[in-house]
């Protein structure tokens, strides 16, 4: 297992979690002044969702690492993006399964 692969996946999951959190909350906060908008973003932040996304990123990183994947310096940006797509896919599959089980 390589630390670089796992940490790249975790960083991708953190980036994904922050970016999509801001994207989801911004329409509600668009009319606020900047300082109040930042304050509201911090107040509404859901730590549980954030941590679960990071955990999924870590698991994806471990799985990629166990499969033999490595991070090469010249392709870091590409691999970062690919890992983010893996994390988004896995997270959405897990959310779908959870909702199907929960709504039965």
In this predicted structure, the answer to whether residue 6 has a pLDDT above a threshold of 70 is yes
Residue-level pLDDT at 29 = 67
pTM for this model (two decimals): 0.61
Tell me the two tokens of residue 85. 């797509």
What is each CA distance from 7 to 48, 55, 94, in whole angstroms? 20, 11, 21
How many domains is the chain built from? 1
Tens-digit pLDDT profile for residues 91-100: 888 888 888 8
Contact at 8 Å (CB) between 57 and 13?
yes
Mean pLDDT of the chain: 78
Which band of pLDDT confidence, cut at 50, 70 and 90, is reported for residue 27?
A: low
Alpha carbons 61 and 5: distance in angstroms, whole number = 6
Tell me the two tokens of residue 37. 């908008």
Tens-digit pLDDT profile for residues 50-67: 888 888 877 877 777 777
Which band of pLDDT confidence, cut at 50, 70 and 90, is reported for residue 70?
A: low
Contact at 8 Å (CB) between 66 and 1?
yes
Q: What is the span of the domain harbouring residue 54?
A: 3-102
Residue-level pLDDT at 8 = 77
Residue-level pLDDT at 74 = 58
């Amino acid at each position: 297992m390589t630390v670089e692969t796992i940490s790249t996946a975790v960083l991708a999951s953190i980036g994904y979690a922050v970016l999509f959190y801001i994207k989801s909350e911004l329409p509600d906060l668009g009319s606020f002044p900047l300082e109040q908008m930042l304050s509201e973003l911090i107040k509404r932040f859901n730590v549980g969702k954030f941590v679960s996304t990071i955990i999924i990123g870590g698991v994806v990183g471990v799985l990629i690492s166990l499969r033999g994947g490595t991070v090469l310096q010249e392709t870091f940006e590409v691999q970062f993006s690919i890992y983010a797509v893996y994390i988004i896919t896995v997270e959405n599959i897990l959310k779908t399964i959870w909702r199907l089980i929960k709504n039965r």
